Structure 1
Amino acid sequence: MSDRDWQAIRADFPLLSRTVNGKPLRYFDTANTSQKPAAVIEATDDFYRQHNANVSRAVHTLGSEATEAYEDARKAIAAFIGVPANTLILTSGTTFGINLVAYAWALPRLTAGDRILVTRMEHHANIVPWQLIAERTGARIEVVDLLPDGSLDLAGLYAAMNDTVKLLALTHVSNVLGTVNPVQAICREARKHGITTLVDGSQALPHMPVNVAALGCDFYVATGHKLCGPTGTGVLWGRKELLDAMPPFIGGGEMIKEVRFEGTIFNDVPAKFEAGTPNIAGHVGLGAAVRYLSGIGMAEIQARESELLAYATEQLAKIDGLRIFGTAPDKAAIISFAVEGAHAHDLATLLDLEGIAVRSGQHCAHPLMQFLGVSATCRASIAFYNTHEDIDALAAAIIKVRKLLQ
């Protein structure tokens, strides 16, 4: 393990010092949204206090400063994931990015008889847009199932690949099970069949080093608020030739070169897909977030979270009546669990009284819950700013609550 001072890093996150219901806050809901370091809060605050103006529209000093800050953020995020800045579209989040690909790439191309592959572990944001496209084009969706430990059935996936499959949409890391999919190998196999691939990296980018260009996918989407950045931010990366060939998703200002009533000439990528005034301060904050994470090192973050996950799994496994869902090898630091005799929402509510913040429910993954045979789970998602003391408090609180419910 690294000798890095993780307590000092935890102190970078102001909210983690507060109390909840008279108890120290133990935050285990990072998979839902991460906490923000002071550097991100300060960068966003500084933009509004010192540089606030619209981007790409004014030649005055503030306008130039705003544009420079916004484009610097794009460059920082692009470098963070290993792609050229001119192929990175800044969005409101993963959901917008997937819908952009659905309507600008899939809708004009898919026809009746085409197939879209998705996996059982997908978030609704990587299911519903494809259902809407399938209804409009006559394409059909096929589901790739899971193995008992929560791993993707790779044999089943590869067997389903043929020339009728036009798109494979899959998550890099499951938001419920923590399963890390071997996306590089999967994308390599898909390319043999001419299948376009979209990877949802929402739960991957915050927790491990990711070089998107090396993955071999065609599109990669992620959200900023899980990446220590502000809400309402995200990215879509796509292969330049695909983005160039796609029509705009939303029309308006800044995505044009020239507008006449007889017709409009659209701007180049990425501006073609960034109509209207963007979330400038938010993306400036996201740029600060990836610089902060890079300063720690994503490999160190991954190692820290792996160690915390192992400790948490060991402690929770000791609790009678507690079942953990998802035991795939080398999983990310997410533990979904159920406690015998306790509904997930009741358990989460009682844990909150102990200062423990966990997510309860179906985690925007109804089909996965059906596969697991449960109506809901609690989810403890761990970040590098968590501590062993947090985990001890979680385990103690679950034991206390279980006794109350017996």
Structure 2
Amino acid sequence: MNTSAIREQFPILHQQVNGHPLVYLDSAATSQKPISVINAVKAYYELDNANVHRGVHTLGSRATDAYEGARAKLARFIGAKSEQEIIFTRGTTTAINLVASSYARSICGEGDEIVLTPMEHHSNLIPWQQVAKATGATLKYIPLQPDGTISLADVEQTITGRTKLVAVVYVSNVLGVINPVKEIAAIAHKHGAKILVDGAQSTPHMKVNVQELDIDFYALSGHKMCGPTGIGALYGKKSLLESMEPIEFGGEMIDHVDLYESTWKELPWKFEGGTPIIAGAVGLGAAIDFLNEIGLDEIDRHDRRLAAYAVERFKEIPDLHIYGPLEGRTGLVTFNIGDIHPHDVATVLDAEGIAVRAGHHCCQPLMRWLQVTATARASFYLYNTEDDIDRLVDAIQKTKEYFGHAIG
């Protein structure tokens, strides 16, 4: 993979921050956008701006073709059986909430179980808390191993015949752990349960085939995979989506309307009420083209190599603690340095032109499991290099000096 050539396609990377060349290490929060995506959104607004599905004029037809074309690209990108199984949403959070409100509330009752893990992002935790409160269902958690990984033996013990749904992240945004979702799905199905996978961190970094994994629902965000903000998607098996009721009502999602009764359009449009996120979908389609041109296998190898390199360089720094497994991670390394608050670490790094994330990363239960209140996180993507990590390590050493820590 020619990282130098790839970097040339990201305009935002060619700037200085606080007098230093920018090193962007916060792609787990949001990725940067290549010029092809920026141009695709710009061209839509300049040349094709019109509402979709409604008009027969030329602009409306072009906008509809671009919007539905993006749906077809995404269906192929994640291995869906049909374009009807792709529901455009604002992102992963909206997709998960759709399943929680439309599906889980209708199937869960007193004594039923929803199985999660302690590493879930709040967006894959709070919706299920609300379902449990509304239905009387019980939340259960697959315990974590000391390094933050999941044991399939624990999965077998946690999922029971009373489990209705398993909701699990594919790649942890804190630990970099890649969870065995295919095996978890098989265990869930053995007990008659369905599985939802949070794919926010996996979709940008690795090949995903929802049919091979045999997962029932899959949620993703465009802005983490070189696409625009405000666009994402829910994949659902067609039979499940057909059984679900929409949760937003109005234009676009209706078939026939009377004064007292209405009927809904077929999939996927019954879940896409109102004017959809047209420009976002156009940009997401361009992002998929960009990622396909590079190749997900190449991106996967690149991101794993950078994570492994970062772990090895971090081991050289006394008092630096890495969270999660030291091997088998992808895309990010989360850490703390002695008793320096991670917000202070991020502030000093920013002064060196290096952007990292600091805080609880929307994973407060996981922070408590790690026995910390917050961490710093460096996350990598296809435009990052080993030189970026070297600059990060040098800046961490400066941070330790600044706060009076000895350098070993």
AA partner of residue 395 (structure 1): V
- What's the counterpart of residue 152 of structure 1? 150
- What's the counterpart of residue 103 of structure 1? 101
Secondary structure class of the residue paired with 1:380: strand
Shift of 1:328: 5.7
Contact 1:341 1:405 in 2 (8 A): no
Secondary structure class of the residue paired with 1:133: helix
Secondary structure class of the residue paired with 1:41: helix
Whether 2:44 is the aligned partner of 1:47: answer yes
Whether 2:37 is the aligned partner of 1:24: answer no
- What's the counterpart of residue 162 of structure 2? 164
- What's the counterpart of residue 350 of structure 1? 348
- What's the counterpart of residue 138 of structure 1? 136
Task: Name the CA distance, whole Å, in 1 between partners of 2:140 and 2:160.
Answer: 12
Shift of 1:311: 1.3
Task: Name the CA distance, whole Å, in 2 between partners of 1:261 and 1:104.
Answer: 24
Matches within 5 A, 1:319-358: 319-327=317-325, 329-358=327-356
Whether 2:9 is the aligned partner of 1:12: answer yes
Q: Residues 87 and 246 of structure 1: is their aligned pair in 2 closer, same or farther, counting only changes over 3 Å?
A: same
Which consecutive segments of 4 or more residues in structure 1 shift more than 3 A? none
Whether 2:72 is the aligned partner of 1:75: answer yes
Contact 2:358 2:374 in 1 (8 A): yes
AA partner of residue 121 (structure 2): H
Shift of 1:341: 2.5
Matches within 5 A, 1:4-403: 4-83=1-80, 84-327=82-325, 329-403=327-401
- What's the counterpart of residue 403 of structure 2? 405
Task: Name the CA distance, whole Å, in 2 between partners of 1:65 and 1:125.
Answer: 34
Shift of 1:106: 0.7
Contact 1:151 1:328 in 2 (8 A): no
Deviation per CA, 1:254-288: give whole Å up to 9, x if none: 11101111210111110010001111001100000
Contact 2:25 2:356 in 1 (8 A): yes
Task: Name the CA distance, whole Å, in 2 between partners of 1:145 and 1:272.
Answer: 38
Contact 2:85 2:238 in 1 (8 A): yes
- Name the TM-score, length of structure 2 as normaliser: 0.98
Task: Name the CA distance, whole Å, in 2 between partners of 1:6 and 1:344.
Answer: 29
Shift of 1:305: 1.2
- Count of aligned residue pairs for this structure pair: 403
Task: Name the CA distance, whole Å, in 2 between partners of 1:338 and 1:254.
Answer: 49
- Name the TM-score, length of structure 1 as normaliser: 0.98
Deviation per CA, 1:33-52: give whole Å up to 9, x if none: 00000010000000000000
Task: Name the CA distance, whole Å, in 2 between partners of 1:394 and 1:126.
Answer: 31
Shift of 1:304: 1.0
Contact 2:148 2:177 in 1 (8 A): yes
Task: Name the CA distance, whole Å, in 1 between partners of 2:26 and 2:2.
Answer: 22
Task: Name the CA distance, whole Å, in 2 between partners of 1:269 and 1:86.
Answer: 5
Shift of 1:140: 1.1
Task: Name the CA distance, whole Å, in 2 between partners of 1:162 and 1:141.
Answer: 12
Deviation per CA, 1:14-69: give whole Å up to 9, x if none: 10111100100000000000000001000000000000001111111111110000
Contact 1:26 1:357 in 2 (8 A): yes
Task: Name the CA distance, whole Å, in 2 between partners of 1:314 and 1:135.
Answer: 45
Task: Name the CA distance, whole Å, in 1 between partners of 2:8 and 2:311.
Answer: 25
Alignment gaps of 5+ in structure 2: none
Contact 2:308 2:327 in 1 (8 A): no
Shift of 1:329: 3.9
Alignment gaps of 5+ in structure 1: none
Secondary structure class of the residue paired with 2:166: strand
Deviation per CA, 1:203-256: give whole Å up to 9, x if none: 001001111111111100001100110000101000101100101111011111
AA partner of residue 67 (structure 2): Y
AA partner of residue 30 (structure 1): S
Deviation per CA, 1:314-347: give whole Å up to 9, x if none: 1111011100001164211210000002100011
Contact 2:360 2:375 in 1 (8 A): yes
Deviation per CA, 1:70-117: give whole Å up to 9, x if none: 001111111111112111001100000000000110111111110100
Contact 1:150 1:328 in 2 (8 A): no
AA partner of residue 228 (structure 2): P
CA RMSD of aligned residues (A): 0.8
Task: Name the CA distance, whole Å, in 2 between partners of 1:328 and 1:189.
Answer: 27
Contact 1:179 1:328 in 2 (8 A): no
Shift of 1:162: 1.3
